Amino acid sequence: MQGRDVLTVKQIPDYSERLTVRLAGEVKFPGEYVVKKGDTLSQLIARAGGLTANAFPRGAVFTRERLKQLEAQRLKEAGERLQADLTAMELQGDEEKGKVEDVQQLKGLLEKVQTTRALGRLVIDVERLVANDAQQDVILQNGDMLMIPATPQSVSVIGEVQYATSHLYESNLSVEDYIAHSGGITRKADDDKIYVVKANGSVWLPEKSSWFGSSRVALEPGDTIVVPLEVDRLNKLQLWTNVSQVFYQIALGAAAVGSL
């Protein structure tokens, strides 16, 4: 070295960046893992020893902090719009029985939205991922969490039915059969908009999918049948319907995570 020389020692890029990801449920070594920037979910599952023999990858719940923040913002905006609708309906002062019922239904929906915690679920087909389908792989981010449940044996029915509950899965039963086992629909149900939330979080809509081409639908264990509220006569049909569907999806995902 000579006078006025400058020696610069640079830091390895991203050396101090600590990314943590949590694996829970039916993986051989669950827990919190430190990962490098660019690591993928398949690599992390391999590090954790893979899935157990009792794992149900089709029902995996993958959550992400960024998506949770966006979801929380959407819930807040929906709650504000519902509150505005409720205030407008109450100011009308209409004592008709139908209007009173509308107010009560909106109050119930608003309460659910205000008390629902965002989940931030990203629908991933982990079953295909562990079968080496690169299209289903995900580059990990700080705060990600993957929960793999045990293999289920039931189909759930929720929403506007007489008795919302879960039933032991039987391959020969259809959507209508499971609803009948829950006592049938209530008078407030919209039987034209019944949908199924698959175990991986995706939604199948009867009127838009040939999957519902016959009355006897090939349901699978872990699926949930949702009978929504009938809102055709309300002014805010699209908003109320969308909010109800988001609420049910968040609730189902949170229930899966909370089952650990």
Q: What is the CATH number of the domain that holds 197?
A: 3.10.560.10
* pLDDT given at position 94: 57
43 found inside a domain: yes
113 found inside a domain: no
* Domain count of the fold of the chain: 2
Q: Is 253 helix (H, G, I), strand (E, B) or coil?
A: helix
* Same domain (yes/no): 55, 17: yes
251 found inside a domain: no
Quick one: CA torsion of 79, 84, 87, 92, rounded to 10 degrees?
Answer: -140
> Mean pLDDT for each 10-residue chunk of the chain (260 residues)?
85 73 94 92 94 92 89 79 74 60 72 77 88 89 93 88 91 90 88 83 64 57 85 53 63 56
Q: Is 243 helix (H, G, I), strand (E, B) or coil?
A: helix
257 found inside a domain: no
206 found inside a domain: yes
Quick one: CA torsion of 145, 148, 154, 156, rounded to 10 degrees?
Answer: 10
Residue 101 CA: distances (Å) to CA of 98, 188, 230, 248: 5, 10, 12, 21
* pLDDT given at position 21: 95
Q: Which domain holds residue 220?
A: 152-229
